[in-house]
């Protein structure tokens, strides 16, 4: 059984709830991703996506240096543990329509599992594709 710990990214960039959304956007640009975990210390309290920033800041002509991440983030975050089976992680991504899941152990973020990480394990290529297909279909 392949676990999330086997494929997750361990050095995760995050923002605090009080950080400007421009900081989150810069992280997304620099590491080429569409979402960033929002943490208080090492506890995940939210996720912010590029879409969150566009809809809640850019579209309203707000200053991205003045708007805080907590004003745009989703606070109902789906997480998994390092011991979560990759099949289960894939199912969670599809069910909750997310492409990245923070990995939490003893209340602290220890990594993040992205849909692309699932595709790195041969046995999960079809599942990752199916999860992505389900996510993409339901968000249009």
The pLDDT of residue 123 is above 50? no
pLDDT in tens, 4-16: 999 999 999 999 9
pLDDT in tens, 43-70: 999 999 999 999 999 999 999 999 999 9
pLDDT value for 36? 96
The answer to whether domain 4-139 has CATH 1.10.150.120 is no
pLDDT value for 72? 95
pLDDT in tens, 32-48: 999 999 999 999 999 99
DSSP the chain: --BGGGT-BSS---B-TTSBHHHHHHHHHHHT-SEEEEEETTEEEEEEEHHHHHHHTGGGT--TTTSBGGGT-B-S---B-TTSBHHHHHHHHHHHT-SEEEEEETTEEEEEEEHHHHTTSGGGHHHHHHHHHHHHHHH-
Choose among 2, 31, 5: nearest CA to 15: 31
């Amino acid at each position: 059984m392949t676990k999330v710990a086997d494929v997750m990214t361990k050095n995760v960039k995050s923002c605090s709830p009080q950080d400007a959304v421009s900081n989150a956007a810069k992280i997304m640009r620099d590491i080429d991703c569409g979402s960033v975990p929002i943490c208080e210390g090492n506890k995940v309290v939210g996720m912010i996506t590029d879409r969150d920033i566009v809809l809640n800041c850019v579209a309203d002509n707000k200053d991205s240096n003045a708007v805080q991440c907590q004003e745009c983030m989703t606070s109902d975050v789906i997480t998994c543990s390092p011991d979560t089976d990759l099949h289960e992680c894939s199912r969670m991504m599809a069910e909750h329509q997310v492409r990245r899941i923070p990995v939490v152990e003893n209340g602290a973020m220890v990594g993040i599992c992205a849909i692309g990480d699932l595709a790195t394990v041969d046995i999960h290529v079809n599942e990752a594709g199916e999860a992505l297909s389900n996510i993409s279909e339901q968000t249009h």
